[in-house]
Amino acid sequence: MPGELIVTAANGVRWKRDPGATSTPAQLFAALQLLTADWHQRQWIWWRDGQIEAEEGKARAVLHEWDHAEPPPGGYQYGGSTEEAVAVMEAEWDAQRAERERARLARQERFDEERSNARITMLQNQADAGFMRHVLAHPATAAQRAKAEEKLAKHEHEAARLAAQVGDPDEVADRHGDLPPDRRTWHLSGLMTFRHHLLRDLDERRQRQRFGAVLAMPAPDAAEMCSECEAPAVWHSWDVSLCLYRGKPEPRISGETIARLLPGWWERCHASMTYRLHHTWGLDPLPDFDGEQWIAMLPALLRAWLGADGKPGPDPRPKPDARAVLERQLRRAEAQAEELRRQIASLPAQRNDDDDDPR
């Protein structure tokens, strides 16, 4: 028809603007680019309350003013009317969801606790090795450098040994049958939501420096996330975790006892570095390592994320005296012994075959 506006997108699809519509071709192409991009990437910057819905709503409103001028190259994948195409797509999605659930239940049935634990220990050693590399970038003393080099070699060796035992770590399901790549994607969503809340809080409190650093944080890829918590995996090499949905340990169990005796143990991610715990207990600590050095090692983003302003505060890695260390080790051993007694008491009595021996 005379006066029709028809444009061609980069993928060869020709679009025709509806009569009476006012959006421009540039707005159409921008809406197409936005709505077909990875949704984590596009929503990452929309931190204001209600901004995600508003921005995506504007893009969809533009798209609704245009229609295909002709079938796209290669034709329509599903064919038929819009209603028929939607019905076919929904049936296809339902079948895919059912297949994913069947596979998850099968993995859950085959859960290998030993392999799963080996994978977590491998991740811990990788994080500890990363921490030692941070220390070695600016060691405080020659003695600290020598100890960090020793620990780095130990953690790299142990991580390699466990990697050979584990095989492909992304094929190791958890006890629910979920695979690490899936969990990383979910955790990226959790990180994004938490970051949006943090930005709104910092903006309301006018903490401009922290706000600017957190706002400048680029969206990580899902592959960069930890599979065990909502933090990027590299954060664990600085002993930073983000366990958003972990509740408190139940009372009267070993976890609650250890959490009480060892502050920070329950809140840390299972895949994070273990050096903090060892330092707290005085187990082979790095010489001359203190809170000021730890803060100095942190990237600007993590200082802003944690609220550290770069000024030395209380030592986050205290060095208890020898007596305190031994007393805590004794209480921990007593708690573990009590837990073992409870587990033994809960086991059924074992039948002794010698009872049937007539001799």
Per-residue pLDDT tens over the stretch 70-81:
887 777 777 666
Answer yes or no: is pLDDT of 312 > 50.
no
Mean pLDDT of 247-253: 65
Answer yes or no: is pLDDT of 11 > 60.
yes
Closest CA to 35 of 14, 9, 5, 17: 9
Question: Token match 């295909």: residue?
Answer: 68
Is the CB of residue 185 less than 8 Å from the CB of residue 222? yes
Cα-Cα-Cα-Cα dihedral sign, residues 88, 92, 98, 101? negative
Per-residue pLDDT band for 320 (boundaries 50, 70, 90) equals very low
pLDDT tens digits, one per residue of 81-95 = 667 778 888 899 999
Strands (E) located in the chain: 6-8, 14-17, 66-68
- Who contacts 149 (Cβ-Cβ below 8 Å, separation ≥6)? 132, 136
Mean pLDDT of 22-51: 93
pLDDT tens digits, one per residue of 141-156 = 999 999 999 999 999 9
pLDDT given for residue 359 in this prediction: 40
Answer yes or no: is pLDDT of 41 > 60.
yes
pLDDT given for residue 313 in this prediction: 36
- Using only C-alpha atoms, the chain has a radius of gyration, in whole angstroms, of 28
- Who contacts 261 (Cβ-Cβ below 8 Å, separation ≥6)? 328, 331, 332, 335
Tokens describing residue 116: 């799963």
Tokens describing residue 242: 């983000």
Is the CB of residue 189 less than 8 Å from the CB of residue 222? no
Answer yes or no: is pLDDT of 239 > 70.
yes
CA distances from 159 to 238, 265, 272 (A): 17, 22, 13
- Who contacts 346 (Cβ-Cβ below 8 Å, separation ≥6)? none
Mean pLDDT of 332-337: 53
Per cent of the chain over pLDDT 70 is: 78
Is the CB of residue 184 less than 8 Å from the CB of residue 228? no
Is the CB of residue 339 less than 8 Å from the CB of residue 258? no
pLDDT given for residue 48 in this prediction: 94
pLDDT given for residue 341 in this prediction: 55
